[in-house]
């Protein structure tokens, strides 16, 4: 069990950061801000993939229009990424943005910093200070010689102090570097120095292959130490791939439990089916499944069921066929061409069984509550809220509490 550091809790729209809140996943649009229709389309795709917070570049006043467009269709918070011009921050705030990413030391005199701090405080908009190896102040670089972890920490805390001077403390910090050891150490030092929530990420991590490696190493190392409150896996790829990668990372660390835990073997000389193709098909078919389900795709019948006995359902290949198994027990033999179909059918059946069980217990609980009128109204309100956010896990939690009435 990972013991997280408890940081200051702030709200980004309706998403909490810090405290004991779940670790949220972020990404950024890569469509030019003046292409509003395409930007909205990409933002909706990110939301569907499970993005918790989406960031947009706001390079000029014209780009502020995108804030209005996104706020009208998204249910997730929008962050405005701003450099140098404090007026863009004021306009984005007026447009209803949920968070601003800006470094106050880069926007000019203290009057401009105060204007941004006052506006964000009045509108309850948090600010993320984002420093990286390529944006350090000359004085800090002169002190350390090059972008060291200590330099990144000092830069972030310097920018935070400019906001603190005007009584603004709804701050998130990030200290990104493309050099993983530097990035990890910088966040460790910042975590020791302050209680602000930390946005983890490896900047300029590279294409999907290298970006996944670097981000898993850097972000994963910090999360295992209990450091970090929100993450972005930066990839030179479709931003939706960032969301999939971040969620897979959280599941691999058992920080996030919603969705499919996927197991597959690397194949060997005993494999007689197209395991690589089948594994990819299964993973894509179940990509958006929200069930807490472990699915295994194994290459042979020798060790498959035994090695994946902890899986909820799975398949083990044979010679042109395979075994469909559940909790390590063989259910039936299936021809190779039907393995994917039968596995998906079994996973759907698992879902249906879970939902039927949920509804059955819900009905029994409802009947019990009718007999206890005094507890009915507040209890029913809780169950309705659980259903409204479409979370069966939350619903089960309420049921358990209500049985204690």
The reported pLDDT for the residue numbered 154 is 96
DSSP of 128-173: EEEEETTS--HHHHHHHSS--HHHHHHHHHHHHHHHHTTT---EEE
∠ CA(111), CA(113), CA(117), 5° rounding? Answer: 115
Arithmetic mean of pLDDT, 296-317: 78
pLDDT class of 298 with cuts at 50, 70, 90: confident
The percentage of residues in the chain with a pLDDT greater than 90, rounded to a whole number, is: 57
Tokens at 398, concatenated: 């309420």
Tokens at 69, concatenated: 């467009």
C-alpha distances out from residue 4 to 56, 283, 360, 387, Å? 29, 30, 37, 29
Asked whether 17 and 25 are in contact (CB, 8 A), the reply is no
The reported pLDDT for the residue numbered 395 is 41
Tokens at 234, concatenated: 């930066």
Q: Is residue 18 packed enough to be buried (19+ CB in 10 Å), middle (13-18) or exposed (0-12)?
A: buried
Arithmetic mean of pLDDT, 356-364: 46
How large is the angle between the packed helices 339-370 and 392-402, nearest 10 degrees? 30
Q: Is residue 356 packed enough to be buried (19+ CB in 10 Å), middle (13-18) or exposed (0-12)?
A: exposed
d(CA 397, CA 389): 13
Query: pLDDT tens digits, residue range 116-149?
Result: 999 999 999 999 999 998 888 999 999 999 999 9
Residue of 53, 76, 79 whose CA lies nearest to 66: 79
pLDDT class of 308 with cuts at 50, 70, 90: low
The reported pLDDT for the residue numbered 181 is 97
Arithmetic mean of pLDDT, 325-354: 79
The reported pLDDT for the residue numbered 364 is 53
The reported pLDDT for the residue numbered 287 is 81
Phi, psi of 312 (to 5 degrees): -70, -50
Tokens at 73, concatenated: 């269709």
The reported pLDDT for the residue numbered 357 is 42
Arithmetic mean of pLDDT, 179-203: 97
d(CA 49, CA 12): 19
The reported pLDDT for the residue numbered 149 is 97
User: Which top CATH class is 260-347?
Assistant: alpha beta
Least-confidence region, from 42-46, 66-70, 111-115, 356-360: 356-360
pLDDT class of 188 with cuts at 50, 70, 90: very high
The reported pLDDT for the residue numbered 367 is 55
Domain positions in the chain are: 7-252, 260-347, 355-402
Residue of 42, 39, 46 whose CA lies nearest to 76: 46
Helix (H, G, I), strand (E, B) or coil at 186: helix
Flag whether pLDDT at 379 surpasses 70: no
d(CA 230, CA 309): 33
Flag whether pLDDT at 150 surpasses 50: yes
Residue of higher predicted confidence among 31 and 304: 31
Q: State the average pLDDT for the chain.
A: 85
CATH superfamily of the 7-252 domain: Dihydropteroate synthase-like (3.20.20.20)
d(CA 347, CA 337): 17
pLDDT class of 371 with cuts at 50, 70, 90: low
The percentage of residues in the chain with a pLDDT greater than 70, rounded to a whole number, is: 85
Least-confidence region, from 115-119, 229-233, 261-265, 391-395: 391-395
- Within 13 A of 297's CA, how many CA atoms are on the CB side? 26
Query: pLDDT tens digits, residue range 68-84?
Result: 999 999 999 999 999 88
Helix (H, G, I), strand (E, B) or coil at 19: strand
Phi, psi of 130 (to 5 degrees): -120, 105
pLDDT class of 215 with cuts at 50, 70, 90: very high
Q: pTM score, two decimals?
A: 0.81
Query: pLDDT tens digits, residue range 217-252?
Result: 999 999 999 999 999 999 999 999 999 999 999 999
- Helix, strand, coil fractions of the chain, as percent rounded to 5: 50, 20, 35
Tokens at 255, concatenated: 């920080």
DSSP-H helix ranges across 207-315? 208-224, 239-252, 275-285, 304-307
């Amino acid at each position: 069990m990972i013991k997280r550091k408890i940081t200051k809790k702030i709200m980004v729209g309706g998403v909490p950061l810090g405290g004991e809140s779940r670790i949220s996943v972020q990404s950024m649009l890569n469509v030019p801000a003046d292409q509003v229709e395409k930007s909205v389309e990409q933002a909706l795709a990110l939301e569907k993939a499970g993005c918790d917070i989406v960031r947009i570049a706001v390079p000029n006043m014209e780009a502020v229009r995108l804030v209005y467009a996104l706020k009208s269709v998204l249910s997730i918070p929008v962050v405005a990424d701003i450099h140098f011009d404090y007026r863009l921050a004021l306009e984005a705030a007026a447009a209803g943005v949920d968070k601003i990413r800006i470094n106050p030391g880069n926007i000019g005199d203290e009057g401009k910093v105060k204007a941004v701090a006052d506006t964000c405080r009045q509108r309850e908009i948090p600010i993320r200070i984002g420093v990286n190896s390529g944006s350090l102040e000359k004085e800090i670089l002169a002190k350390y010689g090059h972008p060291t972890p200590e330099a990144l920490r000092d830069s972030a805390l310097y920018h935070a102090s400019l906001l603190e001077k005007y009584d603004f403390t709804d701050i998130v910090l990030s200290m990104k570097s493309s050099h993983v050891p530097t990035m990890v150490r910088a966040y460790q030092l910042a975590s020791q120095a302050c209680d602000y929530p930390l946005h983890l990420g490896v900047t300029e991590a590279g294409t999907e292959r290298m970006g996944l490696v670097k981000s898993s190493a850097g972000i994963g190392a910090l999360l295992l130490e209990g450091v970090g409150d929100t993450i972005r896996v930066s990839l030179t790829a479709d931003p939706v791939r960032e969301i999939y990668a971040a969620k897979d990372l959280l599941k691999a660390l058992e920080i996030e439990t919603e969705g499919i835990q996927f197991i597959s073997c690397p194949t060997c000389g005993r494999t007689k089916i197209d395991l690589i193709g089948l594994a990819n098909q299964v993973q894509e078919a179940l990509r958006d499944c929200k069930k807490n389900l472990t699915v295994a795709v194994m290459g042979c019948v020798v060790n498959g069921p035994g090695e994946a006995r902890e899986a909820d359902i799975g398949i083990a290949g044979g010679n042109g066929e395979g075994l469909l198994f559940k909790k390590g027990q063989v259910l039936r033999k299936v021809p190779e061409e039907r393995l994917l179909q039968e596995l998906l059918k079994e996973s759907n059946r698992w879902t249906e069984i879970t939902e039927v069980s949920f509804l059955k217990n819900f009905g029994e609980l409802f009947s019990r509550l009718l007999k206890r009128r005094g507890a009915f109204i507040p209890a029913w309100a809780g169950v309705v809220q659980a259903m409204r956010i479409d979370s069966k896990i939350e619903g089960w939690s309420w049921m358990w509490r209500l049985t204690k009435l």
